Amino acid sequence: MTDLHQATRLDAIGGRHDPWLLGVSIALACFGVVMVASSSIAIGEGLGVGPFYFLGRHVVFLAVGCALALWLMRTELKAVEQQGQWLLLACFVLLLLVFVPGIGVSVNGARRWLNLGIANFQAVEAVKLLYIVWLASYLKRYSEDVTATWSAMLKPLGVAVLLVALLIAQPDFGSLSLILAVTAGMLVLGGVNMPRMFGPVLVGLPLLAMVAIAEPYRVRRFTSFLDPWADPFNSGYQLTNALMAVGRGEWFGVGLGASVQKLAYLPEAHTDFILAVIAEELGFVGVCAVIGAYALLAGRGFWIGLKCVEMRRHFAGYCAFGIALLVSLQSFVSIGVNLGLLPTKGLTLPLVSSGGSSVLMTCAALGLLLRVSYELERAQRQVALRRGEAAPLAEVVRTPPPPTAQPPLPAAGKLARGSARLRQRVEPVAGPTHARAPAALGLRKRP
């Protein structure tokens, strides 16, 4: 009865979603709505679709993403882990569908989108999250082998190479670099022997560099990044306008909505270069606040993952590590591009930039991370309850069992009727009463 009662109490214990993670996610989403509205009005009017076209589209995708996040926040991680192999298959199916005529859509010479009828969806955004979940399940199943054998370490790298090959064919160099970086980071956090990682890295970096310089436009992006002012009206046009927006913002910015560069000067002001608009309107202080928000989000993700691994909840921990790596690396690249620290890549600022696919899947990833935090809190409370009941249960086990039939002493008869504990054991009685106890109980000595 005690074990059944304890199990019932453990099942009734619930968790709590991490308040810091939830708060910073909501703050970034709300801030993104404001900045998309500010940066896209002139673009919408210039395209003839209305000043609030991109804002409405962003809000719709954000609402769908929140619904998906709420569903994942209420889904047990065991159910997600059981679908690991199917999720990997879905990654390859999605990346192959973009090449199917009638389903795949080509934009600016790149086949990255799927035609869903009501909107286009960028397949790689879903692949990033699905791949992280599969890799987390793989690291859990082969945790000991990954740290000890070459084959277990090379298998996820081989899967990543196959995904990269499909991304090269699209092409999408920014996403393939992100997937490789997330793979390497999760393997290191999963306990892979670091000297073994040097071999694949030394082979992969030259190959990646060859892919980067294989296309002339990528070479132009790299050279314009080094000196954008050498060709400010052609290859360096995006970066020079972004740097002018950043410099014009100074410390506190020119004011919300007062940006000049977003008025048809800065390309993709509401997507890839939205941080430049933030810098111009909110200044250095605003940019620091945005960077601090992403640092807090990533830090909580890594902390949650570490706590899960310490409690031997490896799948949950690796999922948290992967999502934290994804958000932190993508935000780092997007911020670096806007500030002229990295070559131009087509990566959006998570939750802030306008981009339906990115917003949708970022919400899903954060919903899964919040579920990890919920189950971590629940497990901690269950462990605390077990520890609280461990000592009394141990004492009961160490107590010798009472005799099968032992009536109470006459001197303790009144107390026995009022106490269950005295009905189960005989209390020693001092003095003459103790001497008469055998006779009173009707016991005889054996000859």
Give the residues of the chain that fall short of pLDDT 70: 1-12, 389-447
Angle formed at CA 316 by CA 9 and CA 174, multiple of 5 degrees? 155
Q: For residue 191, what is the DSSP state?
A: T
For residue 113, what are the contacts with CB-CB under 8 A and spacing of at least 6? 98, 104, 105, 106, 107, 120, 121, 122, 123
pLDDT tens column, 327-356: 999 999 999 999 988 888 778 999 999 988
DSSP secondary structure letters along 221-284: HHHHHH-GGGSTTTTTHHHHHHHHHHHHHTTT-S-TT--STTTTTSTTTTTTTHHHHHHHHHHH
Considering only CA atoms, which of 94, 100, 34 is closest in space to residue 352?
Answer: 34
d(CA 373, CA 367): 10
- Would you kindly state where each structural domain of the chain is located, as residue ranges? 77-354
Q: Which pair of structure tokens corresponds to residue 193?
A: 């022997």
Question: Each residue of 221-243: pLDDT tens digit?
Answer: 777 778 888 888 888 888 999 99
User: Which residues neighbour 332 within 8 Å (Cβ) at sequence distance 6 or greater?
Assistant: none
Q: Which amino acid is at 110?
A: A
Q: Please, are residues 411 and 433 in contact by the beta-carbon 8 Å criterion? A: yes
According to the model, what pLDDT value does residue 70 have? 96
